[in-house]
Structure 1
C-alpha cells in the first residue's frame, strides 16, 4: 500500500473542483427559451426595459407601455398616452420612469412603485427614440432621430436644460462612470461621445464597415463598446481611442445588444428570429457560441445580469402587402393573439 502523502491528498481533493470547473465551462454558454408569456394587442413593439428591483418588464407598444411581472408573466399595469413610444429609462434613486414618445415629441414621467403618470415633458427635437438616465447628474437624455439632436432634461425639476446638435440621426446610448455618454449615429455609420459636464460632443468615430448602427452596450472594465449593425456585424470598439478592435458576425436585423459582465457574454437580438450569443475570450477576442432560434420580430431585448436571463418579444406575422408607389416598403401585420414575451435562461 502506497503512502497517502500530502501531495496525493491535494491532488485528490482538487480533482472534483477541476471537474466541476470543466463542466461549468462547457455549459455556461448554453441557453434555451424557458418560458413564454402572451401579450394582448396587435401593436408592434420597440425597446423593452427591465426594472430588476421590482421585477417589472416594460414593453413599448405603439401608444402605450405594458408592464409585466417577470415572476408570473401577468400584466401589472400600463403607461398610456405615449404616442409612438420607443424606450423606457429608470431613475431608481428618484423612483421615476421616463418614456420617449416619438410621435408626440414628449417624455412621459411616471412613478416606478405605483406606475402613476406624474408629468409630461416636451423634447427639443422631433422623434425621440432612445432614452437614457445619467444617475451621477440626475439627467435624462432623449436621442431625437428626426430632430438630429439630443435633449438634456433635469430629472429632478423635469425641465429641459440643454440641446446637443448631432448632425445625424442618433440611436441607442450608454453611460460610463467617467462622465461620458456614447451613442450611435445611424445614418452616418458613426459613434459619438458626449461630455456630460459640458453637454457637448467631444469625439466622433467612424464605425465602417458597419452600416446603420443601432444597439449599443458597454464593458466598462475593459473599455469596450459593442455596436450592432444592419449588415449583420457587431463592431467591438475601444472606448478610449475609438479604434475598431474586431468585427463579429451576428444575425439578420439586429437592433439591440447587452453585455453580461459576470459571464462575459454578449447577447444580440436579431429581428429575423435568432439570439446571437458571443463570448468575450479576451478584450480583443470574441467567439460566437450559438444563434438560438427565437421568433420573427424579436429584435430588441432586456438582460437581467443578476439571473443572466434575457427577455425578448416576438410574434407571428401575416404576409406583407404588395409594394405600391405610396408604400414601397410595406410591413406585414401582427397576427392577433400571437405576441409573446420569451424568457431565455441558462440551461
Structure 2
C-alpha cells in the first residue's frame, strides 16, 4: 500500500509493534477432527442448534463444537464454498461448480430445492433486515438475491468485478468486497442498485468483510492490511497491518474485537476502543492454512479450519499439498 495509506493507518492505531497488548489469553483450546478429504472454504455456526457447518470439497460436515462429535454430512455437493441459514431454519449451500444453491432442511439435512444462480457462487449470507439470501457470484461478477418465501432468485445485481464477502448494515444496505478492483460496493438492496464503490487503495485484494453497526465501521480483510472504512461516506479510517494470506474477518460486538484469520498460521486481532481508535493485540497462533473464520456470537468462540500439509515438488506452488485424513477445525477462545 502507498505511503499515504500507511500514514492513515498509523493515526488509527494506539499501540503497535513492541507495545502490543495482551489479547486476554485467546488461544487454541482444542482441535476438532473432521472426516473426509479435499479442500475447504467457509464455515459458519447455525444460530439455532449452534453446530458448525464446514465446507469441505463435495460435502458439508456438521460438527457439534462442544462435544467434537459429527452430527452428519451433507454429501453430493459440487464445489462447496459457503453456507447460510434463514429464519425458517433452512440451510443454503453455494456450489461453485454447478452454479447453484442447495437448500436443505436443518432438522433432517434433506434437500428442499436447488436454485440456479450466477457463475461460481461463493460467499452467501442471510440478511435479517430484508429477509433475503444474498449470493456472491465470483465468475459472473454479480449478486443473486434469493427470496426464501418462494426459493427463487428475485433479482440479479451486476458488479464491476469479482465479489467476495458480504456485510449488512441491517437497515437496507449491504456492502460487498470487490476483490479484483480493490473496492467495496455499497448497495441499496430494496432497489437492487449499487450506490457507490469505496476505494481500498491499490492492490489490496479484499476478501473477508465484517461490520460494526454501532460505529458504522467496515473491516475489509486484505492481503497485508485490515482496512477500516467509514460505511457512511466510504472514507478509509485506518489500514491496520495483519499477517499475510488473510481470507476472513469477524467482529465480536460484545468484546469489540476484530479477528483476521490468515494462511500464515496466526489470527491478527485488534480492539476497537472507539470508531477511529484501534489497539493492536498479540497475534493468536493457529496453524498454517487456517485462513477462513467464523464466530459464535453467543459464546464468543472463534473457529478456523485447516489440515496438515505435505511437501510440494513444485517450488513455485502457491500452497502446499494437503495430507489426506488430517482436516480439522481449531476452536479459539479465552
Correspondence for 2:142: 149
8 Å CA contact 2:23–2:281 kept in 1: the answer is: no
Mapping 1:202-217, distance limit 5 Å? 202-209=195-202, 211-217=204-210
Hey, what's the Cα distance between the residues in 2 that align with 1:94 and 1:40? 28
Contact kept, 8 Å, 1:321 with 1:332, in 2: the verdict is no
The equivalent position to 1:32 in structure 2, one of 8, 27, 30, is 27
How far 1:341 sits from its partner (Å)?
1.1
Match of 2:57 in 1: 62
- Give the deviation of 1:118 after TM superposition: 1.0
Contact 2:129/2:171 (<8 A) preserved: no
**Alignment partner of 1:94: what SS?**
coil
> Superposition RMSD on alpha carbons, in Å?
1.5
Equivalent in the alignment of 2:88 = 94
Q: Does the residue aligned with 1:118 lie in a helix, a strand or coil?
A: strand
2:329 corresponds in structure 1 to: 341
Secondary structure of residue in 2 paired with 1:290: coil
Q: Runs of 5+ in structure 2 lacking a partner?
A: 1-20
Unaligned runs of 5+ in 1: 1-25
2:66 and 2:321 map into 1 onto residues whose CA distance is 30
The change in CA–CA distance for 1:79 and 1:113 in structure 2 (over 3 A counts) is: same
| 1:79 Cα deviation from its structure 2 partner | 1.6
Larger Rg: 1
The offset of 1:279, in angstroms, is 0.7
How many angstroms does 1:210 deviate by? 5.5
Query: 1:79 aligns to what?
Result: 74
* RCO higher in structure (CA 8 A, sep ≥6): 2
Matched, 1:224 2:217: yes
Quick one: which of 29, 43, 46 aligns to 1:48? 43
When normalised by structure 2's length, the TM-score is: 0.90
| Separation in structure 2 between the aligned mates of residue 158 and residue 341 of structure 1, nearest angstrom | 31
Confirm or deny: 8 A CA contact 1:89 1:99 kept in the other structure: yes
Shift of 1:41: 2.1
Q: Does 1:119 align with 2:113?
A: yes
TM-fit CA distance, 1:27:
6.9
3-state SS of the aligned residue for 1:44?
coil
Q: Are the equivalent residues in 1 in contact too, given 2:144–2:157 (CA < 8 A)?
A: yes
Task: Decide which of 245, 268, 271 is 1:279's aligned counterpart.
Answer: 271
